[in-house]
Amino acid sequence: MTVKRLGILTGGGDCAGLNAVIRAVTKCASWQYGMQVIGIRDGFAGLIGKPRTVNITTSMVKGLLSRGGTILGSSNKANPFAHREMVKGKLIESDHSDEVIQNLKELEIDCLLIVGGDGTNVIGLQFFKRGVNVIGIPKTIDNDLAATDITFGFDTAVNVVMEAIDRLQTTAESHHRVMLIETMGRNAGWIALQAGLAAGADVILIPEIPFTVEKVVAAIKERQAAGRMFTIISMAEGAKPRDGDVVIKQIIKDSAETIRLGGISQLLANQLENAGAGECRATILGHIQRGGAPTAFDRNLCTRLGTEAVHAAARGEFGKMVVIQETKIQTVDIAEAVRQIRLVDPQGEWVRVARDTGVSFGDE
């Protein structure tokens, strides 16, 4: 078929680079193929009920390459197949998928580009199985999507955390403190690991390698015995003790992802102080990791992924996701990309390199 109208939506949590993708898609679609680009507001929420859309032109995307967030808005609650709403204090779940399909037909959208993480692209796969032409573009600061070597937004988040750890280094050294910095990542430790390694953290705690308080204390006291009177701990929000569980900050009933993690750093800080590790301070970066301008790496990755998504649509490669593998941009089945979460390999190179440079993971 000939694709004349492209739809694009940004779903799930926001991150740096979403606007850069919108820019790349719009410019490539217009200049190379004469396609019209229709932006969907607030992820799939913009296709439930009366459609909320905007015609995106090349003039509208000027300046977007360096701008964080998404001009289209996003939502991590709008799953059309299981849309949750609180009505008079009661949680109601309903299926709006037929409504979304009908809206796409009325909008005459030939192919829908879905920019999102695993949850958003699982929804896209469901629509593809129902006959909707979709192409996925992988984004998430968590870097936990299979089939792609890296997702855009991750590099920017890592740089934000790295800079924060750099700043904590000086105050930790001045006051002889143990500084704990908690990152996002859900059940994947990529941000805490790579940012911690880049910033010279002394201890890195990730979900894939359960820790013990005793081993963390031992690492701190070993540094103190060697005259290094401060310690930096980079830890993921999903990190957990060997015989314990994750710390849940909040449960949001009307969200597709009901559990919000957070608070493990403060809990561990208290435990370390009680165990005689010295004065401890916890810093939870939270959503600061999602905001701000994308790094050069993410800007270029977004441009490469966005243009390739348009080419894939022109070729009729529906049901695919554009990915980067071994530095090359290519396409894979969305089903392959969302088959499993990509986690840190406890025996892999990243962990080995960290251990080789003296980093403790609180497990040995």
Which residues are catalytic, by number?
142
14: left (phi over 0), alpha (psi -120 to 50) or beta: beta
Beta pairing class for 111-116 and 5-10: parallel
Q: Residue 125 class from Cβ within 10 Å (0-12 exposed, 13-18 middle, 19+ buried)?
A: buried
If you ran DSSP here, which 8-state letter would residue 63 be given?
T
Single-letter code of the amino acid located at 128: F
Contact between 72 and 42 under an 8 Å Cβ cutoff? The reply is yes
Q: Report how far residue 118's alpha carbon sits from residue 122's, in angstroms, rounded to the nearest whole number.
A: 6
In the beta sheet, which residues pair with residue 137?
115
Buried b (16+ CB within 10 A) or exposed e, 272-294: beebebbebbbbbbeeebbebbb
Contact between 103 and 51 under an 8 Å Cβ cutoff? The reply is yes
Among 102, 112, 136, which Cα is nearest to 39's? 112
Q: At what angle do helices 296-315 and 18-33 cross, to 10 degrees?
A: 40
In the beta sheet, which residues pair with residue 323?
330
Instruction: Enumerate long-range contacts of 1-5, CB under 8 Å, 24 or more apart.
Output: 1/110, 1/133, 1/316, 2/110, 3/33, 3/35, 3/110, 3/111, 3/133, 3/313, 3/314, 3/316, 4/35, 4/36, 4/108, 4/110, 5/35, 5/36, 5/37, 5/38, 5/107, 5/108, 5/109, 5/110
In the block, residue with structure tokens 């920017």: 156
